[in-house]
Structure 1
Amino acid sequence: MMDIIVAHPGKQHSYRLASALKKDGSLQYYVTTFYAKNSSKLISFIKKFLNEDDSKRLKTRNDKDLDDSEVVTFCKFGGLLEIFVNRFDKKRNFYRWLHRRVSDYFGMKTAKLAIYSHSDAIIAYDTNALKCFDYLIKQKSDIVKILDVSIVPRPVMKKIYDLEITQSGCEKLKEKNRNLWDRHLMNRFQKEIDFADYFLAPSEFVSKSLQECGADKKKIRIVPYGANVESNIIRRPIEAGALLQFLFVGNDFYRKGLPYLIKAMECFKDKAFLTITGSYDNKDPLVAKNMNKSYLRFTGLVTKERMQRIYEDADVFILPSFAEGMAQVGIEAMACGLPIICTTNSGLSDMITNGVNGFVIEAGNVENLKEKMQWFLDHKKEIVKMGEKARNVAKRYTWSRYEKKVAGAVHEIMSEKGK
């Protein structure tokens, strides 16, 4: 029997991984910072001051498959402070500084726990694993170090941005991601990859990006994510004279290519409507300039229930992103019966057959984007059929499938290491 620690100071999809290993008997501990334990007096106290939406978000910081005894928390107040600062630090300078401090302390404590508990492996997450892996190496530990990489590695992300800034002059990409031009931070990101023994990647795009950073292809296991939202809605044919409903979902507008989508929409403002869902800053020039345009609607951050309704009201989903891992919003859109337009950098191209359930374009190519948007306007009768094909593909990308595949990948890794 293996003893494996899953460690994440935040959340992401780490609960899914912990649940998968719990079900096959190999989870030793799930380690995090802030966690809504059922027995926690702190959680009971915090609940008194939360509104309905925040109370719902708090409940998501708990994995129903895990017993409280299987969850270890380090730096819980630091983790709670990170959640608070992330909501209010628009420039993210203080947040990034705090995140590094919390992550490093958390990583050190996790490594010490693993050594003390005679763990067989630690699965940690990109941008959070450096100090943990570094400590294990310095202690000459034989604990297997597995890095779960949820997004394209930062060194490759910087190359993508550098190229786009050179070609288009879009300095906002740099302004919003200045940490990528910090040599010290980039060195940390690269070391994290260098220190890992194995990698979990959600898409072929992330796998190739890791190899570009020096990772051995044989050490990478591709395990796609699942959808958090799905729908069985029966879609009706779109009337010939109706406005086509395009949908964009994401918080990092510049990384996800929203400026290019808004530019493309200018050509279709009398024929289509674009809903933009995700948190935003009213002072952001992109938002301020476009907020009151009749063919655009900014919804802000929404609940899971409202998100499903937004998917159901849309006709076509668009994600012109520069850098993703495997954009879950794209899987969700497909699971709700939407054909999609995505980029080669979205991590979704593995799921798309051009002209069948959507289209794949190059990131930053506005003309290519407009061409595909026009195609949907010219072929409205094809949209429902393409959406059903997208839904059929998305049915293969479930969290239950993820759990089986990731557990199998981890067992394969441990067998290869002789554990």
Structure 2
Amino acid sequence: MAFTVFGPTYRPRLARREIVGLADPMLPNGYAPPEALVGRTRLQYFKTLVKRARARKVDHAVVESPAYGHALGTIGVHPHEITVVPNSPSASVVTASPRVSRWPLPESGRITLIYPARPYPHKNFDFLGHVAEALATKGRDVTFITTLTAEELTAYSPATQAACIPVGIVTQAQLGELYQAAHAVFFPSLLEVSSATPLEALSLGIPLIAADRDFVHETAGQAAWYFDPRDPHDAASAILRAVAQPDEVKRKVEQGRHLVDNRPNAVDRALRYTELINQHLDEIGQGPRPTVVVAHPAQQHSFRTAEAVATAGYRLRYVTPIYDRPGSLTNRLVRLLHGDARARAASRRSQRLDDDDVVQIYEPVALLLLLLQRFRLSRMPFLVWFRFLVLIFGWKLRRIVEQESAVALISYDTFSAGTFRRLKQTSPQVHLILDMSAPAAPSVDDILESFVENHQGTRAADLLSEERDGFFYQQNTRYAAREIALADHFLAASTFTQMTLKLQGVDPERIHICRYGIDTDPIEPLKHVQSPRPLKVVFLGTLAARKGVADFLMVAKDLQASNFEFVAIGAHDRKKVHVPEDLNVRLTGHVTRPVVNDELATADVIVFPSLADGFGLSVLEAMRSGATAIVSDHAGVSDLIEEGVNGFVVHPGEADLIEHHLKTLERDRHVLARMQRAARATAQGRTWNLYQQELKAALESIIGETQ
């Protein structure tokens, strides 16, 4: 293994693994501001291209600031292979003789400032002459102590030459002594990664007057006077403000020392290097962790899958367009939102994932898709744009899987056919795992066809028949069949999804059941006791024929009595589902999560008569708050229902049986209370931690145990 503190290197690769320190601000695309690029020659630009090519080949990069590490992603250095080791001042500099206070400065006295830097273009040396001229117009003289040689100084303007003292190249100890000769450190650099000069000023208790740039703010915070490094008059004003404010100087100096005391020092930096070297030596001895890519162009439960992969010990790459990561377009948009919109946007982030494990692609395309989803006039633009996103997402995803040398890709139903087909051709060794968030679409189509035949003449049958005749429905069904045929393994949330896959000829050994879970802490259960109040029955989800809303409405119609309260929580398309105004059903429409939680907190029973559902998290959420469940055997959550213990299981279309169970529970509130307690216990036991364990077992079966 090779460790290079200041890289990149240009020698032939000699080690199995290379760790290289990168700090050239010209390396990342777009990191340098335009003013720092003025005067760059073609040769310098060519050298930067060579450095970028070499930097891409390192196994692990060490950088001095998070912002620079993030920027390296623009040239192909993956965030997961970057470690931030913050810069620190040189011990030889900060252990020089104690600082002698040179403040306050007499009004007529010459101001002496120090600027230790080499003559690189971005160091902005010609700016010093302009600052001296601006101060002269205000009646003050200034001298800049620089570490330029006399010969180097001749390359700058006469005004700069007149204002500067070139002491030449000095040792670290000599630099510490030079700091003592100045009233303040002047730092007008246009571009840095993380310069030691501001740190040295703060450590020595010397006032810092610096460029108003992020690389200084990250180090000095509010402990410096800032100016625009392109405006000499602004710089002159900053210098004069410092001169005129001895009390402020004292306050900022103390604040600066506090900042430095809370940063890693040179010893900490060396220890971090040692830890990094040992970590990589251990990995070389053990072999690299297998990489598993989890990819979803939207969200759904993919956060949880990614968390489970990382927890299981695999090296994770979570590929998604929309993620609330600092610096992302999503993050900037979230700041503009308020109320419920901001709360929903905040859910686009996992607190358990490292930002470096997340790879965002096609973020603007996906954000536009969300905007199209808000339009109610026509779904055609949304569906067309959705397929476009799936297409380009798949192209990029295949390249990421190949670049990462992944052993497995977990992708999701309705998104994966194209990616799977190309990877079968280019990377047949990759395990292609299809996460079935819904039952197998071709089998579901057979179920819906049977329902339509058995319920001819009903509004539900007519709606389902219309849906099945739709162009996109038929396209998606055919797409799903191709997807299933291409997958190597399947993650199913329930035995119902498993059954639909078996009907498509999938070997049961290739199906791994990983049931979803919930977080059990946000909602406290209601104390359900025998009471004369009406029995509250809720339906949670979109009011659609496929969700079995017809059964719910039929029961509500038959039980038009004061001892029942029916509530439908979810979006309602009145053109497709008609709810008579005199029906004993309260429609909430689409509501926020807090409102849903409030409704569930007082619910006694949830009815979920879906015709085909891979799981049904809404049922588990209702059970968490103490509601018993009546669910369809075509809903995956029925796996968790013990008949007569925590709920009941019915077949789609059995509205009369749902009605019978509700009458029983309304009549015997003691039985209801017992079943509600059991429902609550079931939900408490079905956490996402259990899902993680099941997914880990599935991956170990497919890939093998992590090392």
TM-score over 0.5 (shorter chain):
yes
**Relative to 1, partners in 2 of residues 1:210 and 1:285: Cα closer, same or farther, differing over 3 Å?**
closer
Larger RCO (alpha carbons 8 Å, 6+ apart): 1
CA distance in 1, matches of 2:381, 2:422: 26
Contact kept, 8 Å, 1:229 with 1:304, in 2: the verdict is no
1:32 matched to 2:320? The reply is yes
Amino acid at match of 1:272: F
Deviations 1:307-332 (A, max 9, x none): 22211111111001001111001111
Which residue number corresponds to residue 235 of structure 1? 527
SS in 1 for 2:545: coil
1:362 Cα deviation after fit:
0.4
CA distance in 2, matches of 1:106, 1:326: 26
Deviations 1:1-28 (A, max 9, x none): 2100000001111101111122233133
Amino acid at match of 1:20: A
CA distance in 2, matches of 1:19, 1:140: 25
TM-score between the two structures when normalised by the length of structure 1: 0.93
SS in 1 for 2:372: helix
1:9 matched to 2:300? The reply is no
Which residue number corresponds to residue 18 of structure 1? 306
**Relative to 1, partners in 2 of residues 1:180 and 1:2: Cα closer, same or farther, differing over 3 Å?**
farther
Match of 1:99 among 372, 386, 394: 386
CA distance in 1, matches of 2:360, 2:472: 32
CA distance in 2, matches of 1:399, 1:179: 36
Following superposition of structure 1 onto structure 2, how do residues 133-172 of structure 1 map, counting pairs within 5 Å?
A: 133-169=420-456, 170-172=461-463
Match of 2:569 among 277, 287, 309: 277
Which residue number corresponds to residue 373 of structure 2? 86
CA distance in 1, matches of 2:506, 2:471: 20
**Relative to 1, partners in 2 of residues 1:76 and 1:252: Cα closer, same or farther, differing over 3 Å?**
farther
Larger Rg: 2
CA distance in 1, matches of 2:321, 2:670: 50
CA distance in 1, matches of 2:704, 2:390: 29
CA distance in 1, matches of 2:576, 2:401: 47
Deviations 1:152-186 (A, max 9, x none): 11111111111111111311123345558854432
1:380 matched to 2:669? The reply is yes
Which residue number corresponds to residue 75 of structure 2? none
Deviations 1:380-406 (A, max 9, x none): 321111010111122221011111221
Match of 1:66 among 350, 353, 356: 353
SS in 1 for 2:704: helix
Match of 2:495 among 175, 186, 204: 204
**Relative to 1, partners in 2 of residues 1:182 and 1:236: Cα closer, same or farther, differing over 3 Å?**
closer
Contact kept, 8 Å, 1:327 with 1:348, in 2: the verdict is yes
**Relative to 1, partners in 2 of residues 1:86 and 1:118: Cα closer, same or farther, differing over 3 Å?**
same
Amino acid at match of 1:76: E
The percentage of aligned residue pairs carrying the same residue is: 27
**Relative to 1, partners in 2 of residues 1:91 and 1:327: Cα closer, same or farther, differing over 3 Å?**
farther
1:274 Cα deviation after fit:
0.8
Deviations 1:18-62 (A, max 9, x none): 11122233133100112111222x235423542311111111111
Following superposition of structure 1 onto structure 2, how do residues 239-250 of structure 1 map, counting pairs within 5 Å?
A: 239=531, 241-250=532-541
1:335 matched to 2:627? The reply is no
SS in 2 for 1:286: coil
Amino acid at match of 2:568: I
TM-score between the two structures when normalised by the length of structure 2: 0.56
Which residue number corresponds to residue 191 of structure 2? none
Contact kept, 8 Å, 2:623 with 2:683, in 1: the verdict is yes
Contact kept, 8 Å, 1:18 with 1:27, in 2: the verdict is no
Amino acid at match of 1:82: L
Which residue number corresponds to residue 299 of structure 1? 588
Contact kept, 8 Å, 1:115 with 1:141, in 2: the verdict is no
CA distance in 1, matches of 2:315, 2:680: 33
Following superposition of structure 1 onto structure 2, how do residues 363-374 of structure 1 map, counting pairs within 5 Å?
A: 363-374=652-663
CA distance in 2, matches of 1:180, 1:335: 39
Which residue number corresponds to residue 466 of structure 2? 175
Contact kept, 8 Å, 2:325 with 2:331, in 1: the verdict is no
Match of 2:411 among 91, 100, 124: 124
SS in 1 for 2:318: strand
Amino acid at match of 1:8: H
Q: Which moved more, 1:272-281 or 1:172-181?
A: 172-181
CA distance in 2, matches of 1:272, 1:49: 43
Contact kept, 8 Å, 1:124 with 1:147, in 2: the verdict is yes
CA distance in 1, matches of 2:385, 2:640: 37
Amino acid at match of 2:404: S
Report how many residues are paired: 413
1:90 Cα deviation after fit:
5.7
Contact kept, 8 Å, 1:6 with 1:27, in 2: the verdict is no
SS in 2 for 1:342: strand
Which residue number corresponds to residue 77 of structure 1? 364
SS in 1 for 2:406: coil
Deviations 1:170-223 (A, max 9, x none): 111233455588544322110100100000001000011111112110001101
CA distance in 2, matches of 1:98, 1:228: 33
Contact kept, 8 Å, 2:421 with 2:486, in 1: the verdict is yes
Which residue number corresponds to residue 207 of structure 2? none
1:189 matched to 2:519? The reply is no
Deviations 1:357-378 (A, max 9, x none): 1110001222222222222222
CA distance in 1, matches of 2:440, 2:576: 28
Contact kept, 8 Å, 1:324 with 1:347, in 2: the verdict is yes
Which residue number corresponds to residue 555 of structure 2? 264
Contact kept, 8 Å, 1:318 with 1:342, in 2: the verdict is yes
Deviations 1:57-115 (A, max 9, x none): 11111112222221112221221122122222465333222222211211121111111
Amino acid at match of 1:25: G
